[in-house]
Amino acid sequence: MLRFLAYRILSAIPVLFVMTIITFVIIHSTPGDYADYVASMLRSEGHASNEVAQAAAVQFRIDHGLNDPLIIQYFRWIWDILHGNFGTSYFFNSPISEVIAQRLPRSLALVLTVHVLGTIIGVTFGIIAATRQYSWVDNLFSFIGFLGISTPKFLFALVLIYILAFKIGVQELGSFYSTYWSYQPMSFGKFWNLILHVWPIILVGVLNGISYNMRMMRGNLLDTLNAQYVETARAKGLSNTMAVLKHAVPNALHPLAAYQSAVMRYLIEGEIETSVIFGIPTIGVAIVLSMSIGDVLVTATLMLMLGILQIVGSILSDLLLAWLDPRVRLGT
Amino acid sequence: MGSDIFAPFVKHEDATYLDAAPASGRFAKNEGYLLLAWRKFRRSITGMIGLTLVTLLLLMTIFADFVVPSDPREPTLAFAPPDPISFFNKEGFTLRPQTFAVTESGELDPVTFQPLNSPDYDHPRPIKFFVHGYAYHALGLIPSTTHLFGTDDGQPFHILGTDKFGRDIFSRGIIGSRISLTIALITVTFITIVGTLVGLTSGYYGGVFDRWSQRVVDIFFALPQLPLYLALAALIPATAPSSVFLAFVVCVMAALNWAALSREVRGKTLALARIEYVRAAEAVGVTDRRIILRHILPNVISHVIVSITTWIPQIVLIESFLGFLGFAVKPPLISWGMMLQDCANFSVLGSYPWILSPVAFVLITVFSFNALGDGLRDAVDPY
Amino acid sequence: MKTVTGLMAAMLALGVSATTVKADAVPDAPKFDAQGKVTMVGVGDILEYKALPSYNEPEFMKALEKAGKLPALKDRLPKEPMVYKTGNMKDGIGVYGDVMRHVIGGRPDGWNYSAGQSQGWGGIDIGLSECLTRTGPLFQVKAEELQPLPNLAKSWDWSKDGMQLTMHLIEGAKWSDGEPFSADDVMFYWEKNVLDTNVHPLNGANPGTFGEGTTLEKVDANTIKWTFKTAFPTQVLYAMAYGTFCPGPAHILAPQHPANSKNTYDEYKNAFPPTYSDMPTMGAWTEVDYKPDNIIVLRRNPYYWKVDEKGNQLPYLNEMQYRLSTWADRDVQTIAGTGDFSNLEQPENFVESLKKSADPAAPARLEFGQRTIGYALEFNYSANGWGDTDANSVAVHNLNRNLNFRKAVTSMLDRQRLGESLVKGPFTAIYPGGLFPGTSFYDKASTVYYPFNVDAAKADLAAAGLKDTDGDGFVNFSKDVNGGKNVEITVLGNADYQTDKSLVEGVVAMGEKVGLRVIPKLLSGKDHDAARDAGKYDWEVLRQSSEMITAVQQTDHLAPIGPNTTDFHKAGADGKVDLMDFEQKLVDIVNKFIGAKDAKDRIALMKEFQKISTENVYKAGLTVYPGALLINKRFANVAPGAPIFMYNWAEDNIIRERVYVPKDKQSKNELFPDTLPGKPGSAPGEGLVK
């Protein structure tokens, strides 16, 4: 097991490098950069003339080394990272490590909540639906599942925000906390305020997660339910529930375990849609924002982080698979 | 996960296992398999509904111009609500449904300053089938002006209202299905072929090939989709022809999504390849190809089919989201993603909800493919 | 690269003179009740500088004075504070209390405005940095008396020959930390930030901003003198307003400047990060707290130098909050009631916002101003190398230079329909081009309008030498231009805004109707800006900026008086702009306008500009519409009809220091009630004086 782990971690490093090169190149290949954003802000907010705005853009590029060839910029970035310096964000004018530190914990908490809730509820629904195939319970859950994965999340979010802001007049919209509570230390009141702010994101994400997990689980379980060893277990006197839980479900979890590796990425990108619309400052939103204004180091660093999370998730899912299924463990 | 060896002993709710085809000639067995699968499929209501809907969808896509009653590009009254259809007019009940065009009364709403409009009940227009409408080329070759249904006088008929330029939403939705479904089907084909191949070979052969291919999969996985879509969207030159653009979209979506399928297939293959009967087959000297094709693949297929039916709707949704972000086909082409761009403001949500119709189109498409998949999943394993 | 033969080029550029499009009178813009009516006044009706017999301040400040934590009010105010006239205040004298909560999408770089750091935009720097003159409230000043309002400079006199301007600064005013404000602050800004080419102040003040060769000197502690190279450059007074002459606290900044320390210029710029709180300001509020990605809080400036006629020291509002979120979030927050102020600029949200604010229980009210938001279709005129240089682009640019072609384009546009695609109803108005209808320099009689007429457009295309030779429904170039291929026109638009996208879509569809193949090029954010600055487009749908509204700001955008001054016609490879004949006339008019000292001269010049530019379809205007001020219902003293943007943004226009909340409507939203800003350089939230 340890050898397997060591091997996976070591082989992850070249993968990361290749990924960073690809993303770095792609990010820099778009025609505009942050200097253009600076110029446009000067024009629209500061009523500066075109010449002044252009001069500011040119100056910005000189000041921040944006005119250097891409390779040099890339190595400069990698070199800094290896020395623990993640660079400065142009937009926030503060170290990127601070920007990430401010956003990461809450983003992760949000994403993990959505994932755990979605998986547990989804798997449970899937088991219930599969064991009562074709009953009204099955149809109801299938219907919910269908709704969950077929509504475009961003539209759902828009409708939600419209109803909350325009129809109901909810005050807790946008950001993680209301202004007042952001000044208070953590307490039940503050936690409740947090929930009031993020529940739409969680709702939309969980609905999606439930649907996917439920369908996966139901499909796979229906396969294993008819297998011979389940039949044997029943014949041996095991109650149906136990037979299902002890024998059928673990085998059905296979593809689900393989799916976990992709989960982190899906979730962060999944919550981007809703978070952008609700104005909640998460990591996903930071990626989209930095891409649109050309804050390239933020984008590159966040992508690197996502890549690492991805690979970690992938390793964990392999471990999970091995733990679940002795055949995989022994065979490798 | 049934395998043919154990088939006679598998329990079914209705004990039709006695109907299992005898293991006689090869051809008889295959024929029996298809028949069995079809019979099993027929019993699933969801599956049949799905099949009907998918067929209708595909027909509608192919004969889009024939189905739509109005020219999707012709501008009329902007932001008009759907034309009401009624079986009653001034004279009373009629068998033929009537529709009334929406016209503006010239007055403004005191709060929102919007021109008030209402249906013109004085001029009912009968709805007929096989009417004359705008000209088009059926199947791209045969010029025609016949449409499935519409009004007598060939004037625009807006079942789902109009958009900001006064173009018929229903017509645009149907014409838009062409591009959206084409993208989805081609992308999913690529994903399935590449994902399954890589997953199968990787899971079965293991070893060096497995290690290298998994690293490649990891790289693809580690690439965050959304930012790449956004970045790549800016790179396509504006004057590139639509076919280039569509090919680009398909390639990017396939490239970023095949890895997930391959990992799932690999997982399943890994387990299957270690099963006793496979080991036995190996021991006896059966070639790898035969093992893969005859023992592993059929068992993986049911999972792949479920995946396909999950992927098609996912790609349709991804396309709609990308279209919403701006990574969509450009006018004069129409796709659902492009139509969804118009939905992203509060006036649409509050005052012109019919503009949200593309969501319904997406929902119906997603539902039909998923329903079909449900039915297929059960049927593909009739034993 | 295929070159266009000389004759062809001449023909394309000059065009055939017989026009088939007839000019018409511009239809009047529709009226609607929700537009606020502006009462036009003179400068003297708004403010004056005078000493009052007694002054007043909030109760909690009186208590702080008693406790010895704050000097007496009389000592804190200048000799003659600025007094706002009650007659110009819609709801009269106000009461102290409450807070205005803004939401902004920017983030602060730091507090060194003079060295080029932004404070996040959205009116925060407008509130913090007061300037020599002020232009925001000019929307209510009569055209005959139009000149910038005095601010830190309370009066000025021109020398007889007009080469010198003596400005009298306010006497005895102090920064928010109690240090005196004087000509030294002005000179530090001028000498060490504007003149020093290593420093780039925010909004780009440089020596040329105030006229080439201009010098400034200190006469005494409260007087400065400008010396110009041309006579009576009254235009320059506008440049002394926001954002090019807003001096910073020299007593804090100078010690960090490289001239006085071992700092590099970069260190000077970054010496005041957002965590350096209580930076001294001359504005009504001073920053006291900063939570990254969360909020910036400002508290009232105890040394503010403006009062109302009863002697109450302004501002009425004790606190300002700036929630750090996104721009799109601002509208939603204001409608929901968690924010107090927003500029509603997206017409797609008008209807819902109107519905919502009609509800008596809704927290915010909506008021439309004049139609000062407008879009035009701009043509890339450069045929000498600015922008794309492939054969098709050059051919299209040459087409752009052809008057018949431009007339065809302007008459193919159904402006009524374009406006309706944004929002139906009386909001949008037909905009033929040139100055915005209803603004100070607009003259209807001088505006030439070519109405919507598809047949005339087609005829004009033919007159421009374009025919559909391959029968595909799109016109082609003539055989020896670009090989007779289809005319393919790229129109650039900003993909971030629904409005821009809708207009581009409309232009494409209308082009198709007359046989022009127009290809949309929708880019977002920085990519759009890069394409725009590099000229990589044939046409551009662009929101118009100040020069079309007021003409006195960003005047150099009106015509290519320099190689890089306009958006759509910049210098080519040889460093020169290839002006068309009428364009040269426009350049001359603009230069005269900048040097004109008489309001009458200026009005006449603009009339001529309007005539020539609309006659020649310099830009094809699309539509104009009003923005709406979305403001919480509890605020009083917001001038009716205040535009969200005219000379400056609404945050400046409504004069926030006069805005108040009646006692019975005041909220409990103050985060730091009864406190004042403290020592500069304190940690965020720590320096408060309580």
* Chain C residues 623-652 within an 8 A CB cutoff of chain A: 648-649
Residues near C690 by beta carbon (within 8 Å), at least 6 away in sequence: C674, C675, C676
Q: Supply the pLDDT for residue A267.
A: 66
- Residue A57 C-alpha, separation from nearest chain C C-alpha, in angstroms: 10
- Residue C146 C-alpha, separation from nearest chain A C-alpha, in angstroms: 19
Domains of chain A (ranges plus CATH)?
2-82 (no CATH), 107-293 (1.10.3720.10)
Over residues C149-176, the mean pLDDT reads: 93
Residue B115, domain extent: 64-167
Q: Supply the pLDDT for residue A327.
A: 60
Chains near B, with 3+ CB pairs < 8 A? A, C
Q: How many CB pairs under 8 A join A and C?
A: 172
Evaluate whether residue B39 is within a structural domain: no
Residues near C303 by beta carbon (within 8 Å), at least 6 away in sequence: C76, C77, C173, C174, C175, C176, C177, C178
Flag whether residue C5 sits within 8 Å of chain B, measured between CB atoms: no
Between C30 and A74, the higher pLDDT residue? A74
- Asked which of B47-56, B194-203, B326-335, C610-619 is least confident by mean pLDDT, the reply is B326-335
Evaluate whether residue B45 is within a structural domain: no
How far, in Å, are A55, B133, B353, C154, C676 from residue B84 at the CA level?
Answer: 59, 20, 15, 66, 64
Chain B partners of C426 at a C-beta cutoff of 8 Å?
108, 113
> B167, B182, B201: which is the final residue of a domain?
B167
Which of C266, C261, C331 minimizes the C-alpha distance to C104? Answer: C331
Q: Is the pLDDT of residue C381 over 90?
A: yes
Q: How many CB pairs under 8 A join B and C?
A: 91
Q: How confident is the model at residue A103 (pLDDT cuts 50, 70, 90)?
A: confident
Q: Is the pLDDT of residue B286 over 80?
A: no
Domain at C43-345+630-665, CATH homologous superfamily:
Periplasmic binding protein-like II (3.40.190.10)
Q: Give the three-class secondary structure for A51.
A: helix
Flag whether residue B235 sits within 8 Å of chain C, measured between CB atoms: no
Spatial separation of the C-alpha atoms in residues C439 and C435, rounded to whole Å: 7
Q: Supply the pLDDT for residue C543.
A: 93
Q: Is the pLDDT of residue B24 over 70?
A: no
Q: Are residues B139 and B225 in the same domain?
A: no
Q: Supply the pLDDT for residue C13.
A: 41
Q: Supply the pLDDT for residue A190.
A: 87
Q: What is the CATH number of the domain that holds B331?
A: 1.10.3720.10
Q: Is the pLDDT of residue A167 over 60?
A: yes
Flag whether residue C353 sits within 8 Å of chain B, measured between CB atoms: yes
Q: Is the pLDDT of residue A126 over 80?
A: yes
ipTM over 0.85: no
Over residues C153-170, the mean pLDDT reads: 93
Chain B partners of A255 at a C-beta cutoff of 8 Å?
264, 267-268, 303
Across the interface, do A150 and B320 touch by the CB < 8 Å criterion?
no
Tens digit of each residue's pLDDT (9 = 90 or more) over C540-573: 999 998 889 888 888 888 999 888 888 899 988 8
Chains near C, with 3+ CB pairs < 8 A? A, B
Evaluate whether residue B10 is within a structural domain: no
Mean pLDDT score of chain C? 89
Q: Give the three-class secondary structure for B123.
A: strand
Q: Is the pLDDT of residue A73 over 70?
A: yes
Chain B partners of C345 at a C-beta cutoff of 8 Å?
none
| Gyration radius from chain B CA atoms | 26
- Asked which of A51-60, A321-330, B5-14, B63-72 is least confident by mean pLDDT, the reply is B5-14
Chain A partners of B343 at a C-beta cutoff of 8 Å?
155, 158
| CA B346, chain centre distance (Å) | 28
User: Total domain count for chain B?
Assistant: 2
Tens digit of each residue's pLDDT (9 = 90 or more) over A261-309: 666 666 666 677 788 888 888 888 888 888 888 888 888 888 888 778 7
Between helices B357-379 and B45-62, what is the axis angle to 10°? Answer: 130
Which of C275, C310, C239, C383 minimizes the C-alpha distance to C94? Answer: C310
- Asked which of A78-87, B318-327, B339-348, C91-100 is least confident by mean pLDDT, the reply is B318-327
Flag whether residue C519 sits within 8 Å of chain B, measured between CB atoms: yes
Q: How confident is the model at residue A24 (pLDDT cuts 50, 70, 90)?
A: confident
**Cβ contact A77:A27 at 8 Å:** no
Q: Is the pLDDT of residue C16 over 60?
A: no
Q: Are residues B79 and B176 in the same domain?
A: no
Between B68 and C32, the higher pLDDT residue? B68
Mean pLDDT score of chain A? 80
Backbone angles phi, psi at A44, to 5 degrees: -85, -40
Tens digit of each residue's pLDDT (9 = 90 or more) over C212-233: 889 999 999 999 999 999 888 8
Query: Which residue's entry shows tokens 């085998």?
Result: A251
Over residues C172-199, the mean pLDDT reads: 93
Across the interface, do B227 and A220 touch by the CB < 8 Å criterion?
no
Tens digit of each residue's pLDDT (9 = 90 or more) over A224-233: 776 666 677 7
Between C207 and C413, the higher pLDDT residue? C413
Kind and range of the H or E element at C175?
A: none
Backbone angles phi, psi at C276, to 5 degrees: -85, 100
Q: How confident is the model at residue A243 (pLDDT cuts 50, 70, 90)?
A: low
Q: How confident is the model at residue A254 (pLDDT cuts 50, 70, 90)?
A: low
Evaluate whether residue B19 is within a structural domain: no
Q: Are residues B148 and B185 in the same domain?
A: no
Across the interface, do C351 and B331 touch by the CB < 8 Å criterion?
no
Q: Supply the pLDDT for residue C405.
A: 93
Q: How confident is the model at residue A258 (pLDDT cuts 50, 70, 90)?
A: low
Over residues C303-331, the mean pLDDT reads: 93
Chain B partners of A328 at a C-beta cutoff of 8 Å?
267, 270-271, 274
Q: Are residues B130 and B277 in the same domain?
A: no
Chain B partners of A223 at a C-beta cutoff of 8 Å?
1-2, 302-303, 381
Q: Is the pLDDT of residue A209 over 60?
A: yes
Pairing of strands C539-543, C373-379: antiparallel
Evaluate whether residue B37 is within a structural domain: no
> B117, B138, B167: which is the final residue of a domain?
B167
Across the interface, do C519 and B73 touch by the CB < 8 Å criterion?
no
Q: Is the pLDDT of residue B152 over 50?
A: yes
Q: Supply the pLDDT for residue A284.
A: 81
User: CA nearest C427 in B: which residue?
Assistant: B113
**Cβ contact A290:A304 at 8 Å:** no
User: CA nearest C104 in A: which residue?
Assistant: A279
Q: Supply the pLDDT for residue B4.
A: 38
- Residue A299 C-alpha, separation from nearest chain C C-alpha, in angstroms: 14
Spatial separation of the C-alpha atoms in residues C617 and C610, rounded to whole Å: 10
Domain residue spans of chain C? 2-30+377-625, 43-345+630-665
Locate A37 and state its tokens: 């954003």
Tens digit of each residue's pLDDT (9 = 90 or more) over B194-227: 888 888 888 777 778 888 888 888 777 777 777 7
Locate C355 and state its tokens: 């519905």
> B167, B191, B209: which is the final residue of a domain?
B167
- Asked which of B4-18, B349-363, B369-383 is least confident by mean pLDDT, the reply is B4-18
Q: Supply the pLDDT for residue A279.
A: 82
Backbone angles phi, psi at B102, to 5 degrees: -90, 125
Residues near A199 by beta carbon (within 8 Å), at least 6 away in sequence: none
Q: Are residues B292 and B348 in the same domain?
A: yes
Across the interface, do C649 and A63 touch by the CB < 8 Å criterion?
no
Q: Is the pLDDT of residue A100 over 80?
A: yes
Mean pLDDT score of chain B? 78
Spatial separation of the C-alpha atoms in residues C540 and C521, rounded to whole Å: 9
Across the interface, do B347 and C423 touch by the CB < 8 Å criterion?
yes
**Partners of B104 in beta bridges:** B117
Burial class (CB in 10 A: 0-12, 13-18, 19+), B12: middle
**Cβ contact B183:B315 at 8 Å:** yes
Evaluate whether residue B224 is within a structural domain: yes
User: CA nearest A15 in B: which residue?
Assistant: B219
Over residues C3-13, the mean pLDDT reads: 40
Q: Which CATH architecture has domain C2-30+377-625?
A: Roll (3.10)
Chain B partners of A258 at a C-beta cutoff of 8 Å?
263-264, 266-267
Tens digit of each residue's pLDDT (9 = 90 or more) over C324-354: 988 888 888 898 888 999 999 989 889 988 8
Over residues C244-271, the mean pLDDT reads: 92
Q: Are residues B157 and B198 in the same domain?
A: no
Across the interface, do A42 and C295 touch by the CB < 8 Å criterion?
no
**Percent of chain B topping pLDDT 70:** 85
Q: Is the pLDDT of residue C93 over 90?
A: yes
What is the maximal distance between C-alpha atoms in chain B?
87
User: CA nearest B110 in C: which residue?
Assistant: C33
Flag whether residue B164 sits within 8 Å of chain C, measured between CB atoms: yes
Q: How confident is the model at residue C400 (pLDDT cuts 50, 70, 90)?
A: very high
Evaluate whether residue B323 is within a structural domain: yes
Residues near B320 by beta carbon (within 8 Å), at least 6 away in sequence: A152, B180, B336, B337, B340, B358, B362
